[in-house]
Amino acid sequence: MKIAVYGAYGYQGNLVVAELSRRGIDTVLVGRNVARLQSVGTPDAERRVADTDDHDGLVAAFRGAEAVINCAGPFTVSGIPVIHAAVAAGCHYVDTSGEQLYLKQVFDTFSSDTGVTIVPGANDDCLPGDLIAALAAARVAPVEEVVIALDLTRGTSTPSRGTLRSALANLESFTTGGEVYDGGQWRPGVPVRRTSMIFPGSPEPVPVVKFALPGVATAPRHLPANWVEGVARAELVPAFSSVTPDLIDSLPEGPTAEHRRTTKFVIVVHALGTDGRRARGVVEGTDTYGTTAVIAVEAARRLAADPPRPGALAPAQAYDPTDFLNFLAPHAVTWTVEQF
Ligand SMILES: NC(=O)c1ccc[n+]([C@@H]2O[C@H](COP(=O)([O-])OP(=O)(O)OC[C@H]3O[C@@H](n4cnc5c(N)ncnc54)[C@H](OP(=O)(O)O)[C@@H]3O)[C@@H](O)[C@H]2O)c1
């Protein structure tokens, strides 16, 4: 099996390339900068240069790979051309995007006649969040309302420059909290219902605010809920809303491995059934970028090894939720679902 990585020499791309090497998967390193492409992978690695405005070059770069992992964010700016090229080259596609509007655009753009499967948002919050939403909702089906909540406030790790550049490219979405899914459509400018939440490890409810989580774009693809909203622990939001280009330039490329190990990510999903029953799903893990590398590689490997139906799919449409979450257990990811 051969997997191509676009944006291979970025912070997340480096971690994905290392994970592919650990898994013993043949890799093609792709990016637009020849010199930077030399800085990643082994000296004898296969390298191909292509920019996102060069469709034929990108197709040629991906040809021969079974799948593409795209780590070149901001995806709102350059993600769609990379998918068009992957489709033309006959490659399945995953990316590490957390940009809610881009994920919606992917589902709007790519239908089932692509011949390959496209799973955007193969990262530490979208993929486990979507899978745990499916498991929690199944406990109380038919489901009426789903709340997806994120807590990233524990630990000493800071976001990568690329994460902050992606937030800047989606500033309005990040500062206004993005969209909610309401009665069959996504709508901006609608307040969320949830204002506080109990996260594992804190017995008292803590304030949460509307947040542009990618799971709001994916969960309604497979859950017949009337309402899906995304919230985050309130302390998380200032880190994104005060981003400026100068601030980004003053930061290191990304957190050190030591700092990454101290990060904890927690996703809590509340599902409310039409009959009033409630279920809660929780996913907890550490090292957001390291876990994203594990998730993106496994997501691409599964598409190549056992392709689901073609077209753009949410994680829970492409993978068995229990099986994928259990796969993550050796990587310090735990999960639970309970009815209450
Ligand atoms: N949970 C989450 O939401 C989550 C978790 C992990 C990662 N992510 C996302 O993953 C992405 C990558 O993060 P990162 O820290 O690796 O960023 P990074 O270090 O800035 O790397 C980005 C890579 O993309 C390339 N790139 C950017 N714009 C491009 C364009 N228009 N055309 C071609 N190549 C382009 C860059 O190449 P050049 O140097 O040539 O520009 C670089 O190789 C971000 O969007 C981040 O938000 C999200």
160 Cβ inside 6 Å of ligand 1? yes
Sorting pLDDT into bands at 50, 70 and 90, what band is 84?
Answer: very high
| Average per-residue pLDDT for the chain | 96
Residue 332 scores a pLDDT above 80: yes
Q: H or E segment at 325? A: helix 321-327
Residue 155: the pLDDT is 75
Residue 66: phi and psi, rounded to 5, are -80, -30
CA distance 90 to 67: 8
CA of 278 to the centre of ligand 1 (A): 38
With the most atoms of ligand 1 within 8 angstroms of its CB, the residue from 16, 49, 163 to mutate is 163
Residues with Cβ < 8 Å from 60, sequence gap 6 or more? 48, 50, 89
Percent of the chain scored above 70 by pLDDT?
A: 99
Residue 184 scores a pLDDT above 90: yes
Percent of the chain scored above 90 by pLDDT?
A: 93
Cβ proximity of 70 and 96 under 8 Å: yes
CA of 298 to the centre of ligand 1 (A): 19
Sorting pLDDT into bands at 50, 70 and 90, what band is 143?
Answer: very high
Strands (E), 96-154: 117-119, 143-154
CA distance 218 to 268: 16
189: alpha, beta or left? (left if phi > 0; alpha if psi -120 to 50): left
Tell me: the pLDDT tens digits for 215-269?
999 999 999 999 999 999 998 887 777 889 999 999 999 999 999 999 999 999 9
162 Cβ inside 6 Å of ligand 1? yes
Ligand 1: which atom is nearest the Cα of residue 74? 45
Residues with Cβ < 8 Å from 56, sequence gap 6 or more? none
CA distance 169 to 161: 12
Tell me: the pLDDT tens digits for 272-311?
999 999 999 999 999 999 999 999 999 999 999 999 999 9
What structural domains does the chain harbor?
2-122+292-321 (3.40.50.720), 126-288+332-339 (3.30.360.10)
Residue 288: the pLDDT is 96
Mean pLDDT of 326-336: 98
Cβ proximity of 131 and 121 under 8 Å: no
Measured by CA distance, the residue closest to atom 20 of ligand 1 is 162
Tell me: the pLDDT tens digits for 194-209?
999 999 988 899 999 9
Q: Dig out the tokens for 41 from the structure.
A: 């992978």
At position 296, the amino acid (one-letter code) is: A
CA distance 119 to 127: 9
Mean pLDDT of 34-39: 96
Residues with Cβ < 8 Å from 325, sequence gap 6 or more? 128, 131, 132, 135, 283, 333, 335
Residue 284: the pLDDT is 97
Residue 28: the pLDDT is 98
289 Cβ inside 6 Å of ligand 1? yes
Residue 156 scores a pLDDT above 90: no
Residue 126 scores a pLDDT above 90: yes
Closest residue by Cα to residue 30 from 54, 3, 49: 49
CA of 14 to the centre of ligand 1 (A): 11
Local structure of residue 114 (DSSP, 8 states): G
Residue 1: the pLDDT is 97
Residue 158: the pLDDT is 84
Ligand 1: which atom is nearest the Cα of residue 167? 47
CA of 74 to the centre of ligand 1 (A): 6
Residue 255: the pLDDT is 94
Span of 4-13, 28-37, 119-128, 146-155 with lowest mean pLDDT = 146-155
Mean pLDDT of 124-134: 98
CA of 253 to the centre of ligand 1 (A): 11
CB atoms inside a 10 Å sphere around CB 108:
9
For 255-293, b where at least 16 C-beta lie within 10 A, e where not — what string? beeeebbebbbbbbbbbbbeeeeebbbbbbbbbbbbbbb
* Dihedral angle computed from the Cα positions of residues 200, 201, 206 and 208, in that order, rounded to the nearest 10 degrees: -40
